[in-house]
């Protein structure tokens, strides 16, 4: 394992540049930190990573297995000094393990074949990175086929999104910058019904037919789905609530509907 002792090393500078969206877009790479997320990347066979390990990181009980798996995926490992890692770290209690990973989101063209009984989630203009990460975590847990992020949505590679997703970002196909027109075209091409969600919806979510292929659409945290988009939906689902209560959190709404869809389909994998 090569060693990096200078804080001005080219790979250290590159890793630090990825903390900004501009740097990520330029390099088509992301920076992640912590044993959980780096190990999840390896377990989900993300190739060609750069991994930085401090002396503390090398003592982690899971490091030998990570090192072996990473080498099989073409990863490059660098031993870095504590001083160098201090420049890299983003967390208050670092484990001494960080990595640069290539972008891994899909396009609508590159998506694998999606199981028809599994819903696709579409998020329109979602702004909060914590919400986005929690939705990804929920989607992976409830067996969603994929998650589409609409235009003007938060960057999936935002560090808060990645941390909130708890590794789920590698476990469900993700497509970013999907337009409304592309969602409709996808539904037509794949034979999926388009079901929007809104407080004024006409179908209670529990009564919807989830045995047919469907795209479940959820809107912006403050404004919900746009009126124009709702007009294009085949159904508009609603989640009943007690009177004089505020709307549900976005990730909570996604979880309620996704788990009902999974239940209706017999909790099949």
Phi, psi of 148 (to 5 degrees): -105, 130
Q: Where in the chain is the domain with CATH 3.40.1280.10?
A: 120-264
Residue 260: CB atoms within 10 Å: 18
Mean of per-residue pLDDT scores for the chain = 95
Choose which CATH entry (3.40.50.2300, 3.40.1280.10, 3.40.190.10, 3.40.50.970) describes domain 120-264: 3.40.1280.10
Contacts of 5 (CB under 8 A, 6+ apart): 80, 81, 84
pLDDT band at 14 (very low <50, low <70, confident <90, very high): very high
Whether residue 255 is predicted with pLDDT greater than 90 in this model: the reply is yes
| In the chain, ranges of CATH 3.30.1330.30 domains | 2-102
Report whether pLDDT(245) > 90. Answer: no
- The whole-angstrom separation of Cα 44 and Cα 142 is 18
155-210 tens-digit pLDDT = 999 999 999 999 999 999 999 999 999 999 999 999 999 999 999 899 999 999 99
pLDDT tens string 208-236: 999 999 999 999 988 999 999 999 999 99
The tens digit of pLDDT for each residue in 67-104 reads 999 999 999 999 999 999 999 998 888 999 999 999 99
CATH class of 2-102: alpha beta
């Amino acid at each position: 394992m090569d060693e990096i002792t200078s804080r001005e090393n080219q790979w250290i500078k590159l890793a630090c540049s990825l903390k900004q969206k501009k740097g990520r877009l330029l390099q088509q790479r992301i920076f992640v930190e912590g044993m959980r997320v780096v190990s999840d990347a390896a377990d989900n066979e993300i190739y060609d990573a750069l991994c930085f390990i401090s002396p503390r990181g090398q003592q982690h009980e899971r490091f030998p297995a990570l090192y072996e798996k990473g080498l099989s995926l073409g990863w490059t490992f660098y031993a870095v000094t504590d001083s160098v890692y201090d420049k890299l770290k983003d967390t208050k209690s670092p484990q001494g393990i960080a990595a640069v990973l290539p972008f891994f989101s899909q396009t609508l063209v590159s998506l694998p074949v999606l199981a028809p009984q599994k819903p696709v989630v579409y998020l329109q203009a979602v702004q909060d990175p914590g919400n986005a990460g929690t939705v990804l975590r929920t989607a992976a847990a409830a067996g969603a086929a994929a998650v589409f992020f609409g235009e003007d949505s938060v960057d999936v590679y935002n560090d808060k999104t990645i941390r909130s997703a708890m590794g789920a970002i590698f476990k469900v196909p993700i497509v970013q910058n999907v337009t409304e027109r592309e969602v409709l075209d996808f539904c037509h091409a794949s034979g999926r019904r388009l079901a929007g969600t809104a407080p004024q919806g006409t179908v209670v979510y529990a009564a919807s037919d989830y045995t047919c292929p469907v795209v479940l659409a959820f809107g912006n945290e403050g404004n919900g789905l746009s009126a124009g988009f709702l007009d294009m939906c085949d159904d508009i689902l609603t989640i009943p609530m007690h009177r004089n209560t505020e709307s549900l959190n976005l990730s909570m709404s996604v979880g309620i509907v996704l788990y009902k869809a999974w239940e209706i389909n017999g909790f099949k994998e």
